[in-house]
Structure formats: structure tokens, C-alpha cells
């Protein structure tokens, strides 16, 4: 049977064309309209009978169809002013048996709103794609190794040595340490140093998976095991980690019911998909981590004792930054190197007075907090030297933050640093404005006061308050 448009009933062809291109026009070599479809006529507010046979530029304002029909050069996604708005049009030369016979025009978007609406609908899809792509890459491959773990203090070295020694064992590892101490880095490094490093490293954040999704995420499911189950079923994290390592992060946040399910897998060393038939034997190394006090949770009935013992075969305590304050210098140096690359600011220096202030702090947010403090300093500083004034005020004053006295310490640890009181925030903004004004005016206080719109006496007072008399700051 031949396959061309003539095999279609005649009255179908019109409909097919209308569906394929909502607005369409065909002209001959002289730009005379041979055909224009209903949708285009409605858009132009003309009748088909009126439009056919007329020069295209008379019917379609600003048309270039007659030009394309002559030059034979296509114009794709061309902006076309029409009816006081702009549409996006495609114009293609029409070749029949190798000869240019005219042109075909279609409209992609009738106005910018249509295009915007389309791109608005596309945008979340693109973002979603990007999100899953990075998530997938991040989860599947471990990025760090022991060489990335900076620190020479005895406690840290002991933890690192133990982790290195046990990396090739099959036994479960439990990483304990406060927020931001490097638990995730340790987990990556252990996997990387093991013979499993060619297989996946799967991270599961036990605190963030909704309870009703936990089972299908962790164990996977067979096709048709529940309504909404995907065709072909889905592999769970344990199966995906096969031959490699599963990192159960924030294990202390796992709800009790889920703890029971996890325990069963660890005990039986086999995994059963939801709705699955035969259980599959499991070859996965388990590393768990938490900043919580699991022993206390066990005592309070919040964490299953039997699961705790299963996970706690090799316990590694990662010291807080405060316990290894001598490592702060090398850590800061490494972090500054990273920041130099990130912000394209070479040769950043940190004078001893800044370092000694940093050493006085108690660092409840540990290395993540240090990272944040340094990144902030690099953002606000002028020049290449991190003077103490580029540190947050709570560090400049060398105040000790005692997390045990602060009822919000846990929640602000999550953000990396504590929000400052409003007064301090405003003072900092004021100080920064004065520094900027003085720098712009080359240290001339009279001019700076004028720039700031305040009196000279008031500026003198504020300079005294913020100890801003040092001219060296402005004459670098």
C-alpha cells in the first residue's frame, strides 16, 4: 500500500494539517497565498476566501514569506511583529522535485505570553532534571578519600587511623561526632579505601525520607505490588549498593518502626522487595552515622538496642573542632585554598591575630561553621588579608559560645551558625557602611560624613565606638 497523504480521505487532510501546525500558510514563488488554514485566519481575523489568492504581505502584516519564497533560505524561530505584539514564526522554502516553488509558514507562538507560558512549564522540568542528575551523581560515587581529611591532632589521627585500618573489613561501622565534624567525609573515605570502591556508594538520609516511602526507597518493590508502583518495579538503595557500601546517615533520626525493618535486613543479610517472591542475598557494607547520643536514645527507648549493637561493631568517635583546635590552622589554610579557587581571589592571607581569635572560639558547628565564617570573610573583605574585622562580631569579641546553655543550639547548628542579635547585625551594617565611606573618601572623615548623610561629630563618635581610627585600613 502506498504511503502518502493521498491515501488519506480528502477531508482528513485539512484536519491533519490543522493539528500538525496550528497556524499555517503556503505561498507560491511570487508570494501569492495558495493556502491558509482556518486557525491562521482566525488569528488574523480574515476569512479564508478573502485571503486566498492575495499577496501574502497584504494579508499578514510584516510578512517575509514572499522573500523566503524567492531566496530559498529558511527563517526559523523568527520574531515577527504583528497586531501590536510579537509572534514567533517559522518560514521554510518549499522545494518540489528539487525546484523552489514557494514557501510554507507556521507560527510557533502567537505572542510572547504563549512563549512565556511554554517556557514557564518547561523550566520546572529542566530544574527537576538537573536536581535528579546531581543527586544521582552525588549518591552513586564517593568523592573523598583519606588524603582529604586534614588534621594531625592525636584524637583525630587516632580516628583516622582506625577508619583506615577497618576500611577493608566487612563489619558495620558507626561514625559518631557532632554536626559538621566530617562524618560524611569519613564514610566516603572508608568506601574509597576499600576493595568495594569500584561499586556504588549509596547515601541514605534516614532523617529525611518520609516514613511511608522508606520501605520502597530502601528495599524496592516488584511491579504491581501496590497502586502507583512503577512498571518493571524499582530497585531499593540496598540493591543499588550491591557490592558496594550503603551509608545510613542520620541513623538517630530513623523512626522506631523503620528501625525494626532495617534490623531484619541486617540480621538476615538478605533483601526482599515489597511484593517480591524470593529474597535476594545481600552483599553490602553498612556505615551508619549520627550526631545524636545513641546510647542515651537506647536508654530512653527511642532507639532499638538490638539495632544499636548491630551497627556498633566498629565505633569511630570523630572529635569536635574544639577538641583539636591545633588543627584549625591547617584546616583554615585548606579551606582558604578552596575559596581562592571558588571566588577567583588568589593569595588570600590570614594574619596571626585573626587565627588566634578563631582558636578562641568553641565552634559548635565545627568545620562547617569554620567554612561558613571563612566564606563570609572572603565575601566581605577588601584586599587579600582577612583582618579580624571581617569575622562575624561574635568571633571578634572572642565570646565563647556554650552550646549547652543555648536552647536553640541544635537548630542553629543546622544552619552552620547562630543568627546574631538584631543589635549586632545593625551595628555590623553601620560599621561596614562607615568603612566603605572612609575607604571611598581616602580616610577623610568630613567627606565620609557627607557621603553617609550624618554630622561630622556623629561620625567621630561612631569611629571611636567601632575603633576605626586606624588609617592604615584605608591606605593599603
Three cell numbers at 308?
Answer: 544499636
- Least distance (Å) from ligand ATP to the CB of residue 182? 3
- Least distance (Å) from Mg ion to the CB of residue 364? 15
Which is nearer to ligand ATP, 261 or 292 (by Cβ)? Answer: 292
Three cell numbers at 97?
Answer: 522535485
The closest of 251, 250, 247, 286 to 266, measured between CA atoms, is 286
Contact 364, 403 (CB under 8 A): yes
Q: Does 185 bind ligand ATP (CB under 6 A)?
A: yes
Cα separation, 335 vs 372, whole angstroms: 10
Element (H, E) at 33: strand 33-36
Q: Does 66 bind ligand ATP (CB under 6 A)?
A: no
Which is nearer to ligand ATP, 23 or 173 (by Cβ)? Answer: 173
Q: Which stretch binds ligand ATP (CB under 6 A): 191-199, 266-274, 367-375, 401-409?
A: 367-375
Q: Which stretch binds ligand ATP (CB under 6 A): 21-29, 48-56, 180-188, 233-241?
A: 180-188
Q: Which stretch binds ligand ATP (CB under 6 A): 114-122, 142-150, 232-240, 457-465?
A: 142-150
Tell me the HSE value of 97 on the side-chain side, using a 13 A CA sphere: 0
Contact 318, 159 (CB under 8 A): yes
DSSP 29: T
Q: Which stretch binds ligand ATP (CB under 6 A): 108-116, 208-216, 366-374, 465-473?
A: 366-374
The closest of 96, 26, 118, 108 to 68, measured between CA atoms, is 26
Contact 173, 247 (CB under 8 A): no
- Least distance (Å) from Mg ion to the CB of residue 148? 15
Q: Does 321 bind ligand ATP (CB under 6 A)?
A: no
179 binds, among ligand ATP, Mg ion, none (CB under 5 to 8 A by kind): ligand ATP
Residue with CB nearest ligand ATP?
182
180 binds, among ligand ATP, Mg ion, none (CB under 5 to 8 A by kind): ligand ATP
113 binds, among ligand ATP, Mg ion, none (CB under 5 to 8 A by kind): none
Three cell numbers at 265?
Answer: 535486613
**Radius of gyration of the chain from Cα atoms?**
34
Exactly one of 151, 233, 236, 319 binds ligand ATP (CB under 6 A); that residue is 151
**Where would I find the beta strands (DSSP E) of 98-218?**
99-109, 173-176, 201-205
- The residues that touch Mg ion, with contacts defined as CB under 5 A, are 184
Q: Which stretch binds ligand ATP (CB under 6 A): 235-243, 303-311, 363-371, 455-463?
A: 363-371
The closest of 244, 168, 143, 170 to 202, measured between CA atoms, is 244
Q: Residues in the site for ligand ATP, rule: CB under 6 A?
A: 148-151, 177, 179-185, 291, 334, 367-368, 371
Amino acid at each position: 500500500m502506498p504511503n502518502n497523504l493521498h491515501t488519506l480521505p480528502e477531508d482528513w487532510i485539512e484536519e491533519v494539517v490543522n493539528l500538525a501546525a496550528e497556524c499555517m500558510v503556503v505561498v507560491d514563488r511570487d508570494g501569492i497565498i495558495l493556502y491558509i488554514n482556518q486557525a491562521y485566519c482566525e488569528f488574523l481575523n480574515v476569512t479564508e476566501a478573502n485571503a486566498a489568492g492575495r499577496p501574502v504581505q497584504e494579508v499578514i502584516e510584516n510578512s517575509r514569506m514572499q522573500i523566503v519564497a524567492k531566496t530559498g533560505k529558511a527563517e526559523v524561530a523568527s520574531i515577527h511583529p504583528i497586531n501590536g505584539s510579537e509572534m514567533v514564526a517559522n518560514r521554510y522554502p518549499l522545494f518540489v522535485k528539487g525546484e523552489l516553488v514557494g514557501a510554507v509558514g507556521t507560527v510557533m507562538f502567537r505572542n510572547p505570553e504563549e512563549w512565556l507560558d511554554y517556557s514557564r512549564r518547561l523550566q520546572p522540568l529542566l530544574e527537576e532534571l538537573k536536581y535528579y542528575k546531581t543527586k544521582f551523581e552525588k549518591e552513586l560515587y564517593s568523592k573523598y578519600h583519606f588524603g582529604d581529611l586534614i588534621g594531625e591532632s592525636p584524637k583525630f589521627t587516632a580516628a583516622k587511623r582506625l577508619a583506615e585500618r577497618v576500611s577493608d573489613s566487612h563489619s558495620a561501622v558507626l561514625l559518631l561526632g557532632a554536626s559538621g565534624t566530617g562524618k560524611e567525609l569519613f564514610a566516603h573515605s572508608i568506601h574509597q579505601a576499600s576493595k568495594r570502591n569500584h561499586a556504588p556508594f549509596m547515601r541514605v538520609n534516614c532523617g529525611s525520607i518520609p516514613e511511608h516511602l522508606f520501605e520502597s526507597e530502601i528495599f524496592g518493590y516488584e511491579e504491581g505490588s501496590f497502586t502507583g508502583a512503577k512498571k518493571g518495579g524499582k530497585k531499593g538503595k540496598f540493591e543499588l549498593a550491591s557490592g558496594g557500601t550503603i551509608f545510613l546517615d542520620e541513623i538517630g533520626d530513623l523512626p522506631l518502626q523503620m528501625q525494626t525493618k532495617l534490623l531484619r535486613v541486617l540480621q538476615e543479610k538478605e533483601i526482599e522487595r515489597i511484593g517480591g517472591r524470593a529474597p535476594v542475598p545481600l552483599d553490602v557494607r553498612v556505615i551508619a552515622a549520627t550526631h545524636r547520643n545513641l546510647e542515651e536514645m537506647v536508654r530512653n527507648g527511642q532507639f532499638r538496642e538490638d539495632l544499636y549493637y548491630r551497627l556498633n561493631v566498629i565505633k569511630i568517635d570523630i572529635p569536635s573542632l574544639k577538641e583539636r583546635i591545633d588543627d584549625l590552622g591547617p584546616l583554615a589554610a585548606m579551606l582558604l585554598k578552596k575559596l581562592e579557587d571558588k571566588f577567583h581571589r588568589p593569595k588570600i592571607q590570614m594574619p596571626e591575630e585573626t587565627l588566634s581569635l578563631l582558636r578562641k572560639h568553641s565552634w559548635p558547628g565545627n568545620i562547617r561553621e569554620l567554612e561558613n565564617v571563612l566564606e563570609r570573610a572572603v565575601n566581605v573583605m577588601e584586599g587579600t588579608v582577612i583582618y579580624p574585622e571581617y569575622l562575624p562580631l561574635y568571633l571578634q569579641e572572642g565570646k565563647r559560645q556554650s552550646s549547652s546553655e543555648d536552647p536553640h543550639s541544635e537548630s542553629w547548628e543546622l544552619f552552620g551558625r547562630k543568627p546574631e542579635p538584631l543589635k549586632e547585625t545593625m551595628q555590623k551594617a553601620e560599621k561596614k557602611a562607615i568603612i566603605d565611606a572612609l575607604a571611598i573618601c581616602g580616610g577623610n572623615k568630613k567627606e565620609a560624613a557627607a557621603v553617609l548623610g550624618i554630622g561630622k561629630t556623629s561620625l567621630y563618635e561612631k569611629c571611636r565606638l567601632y575603633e576605626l581610627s586606624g588609617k592604615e585600613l584605608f591606605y593599603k
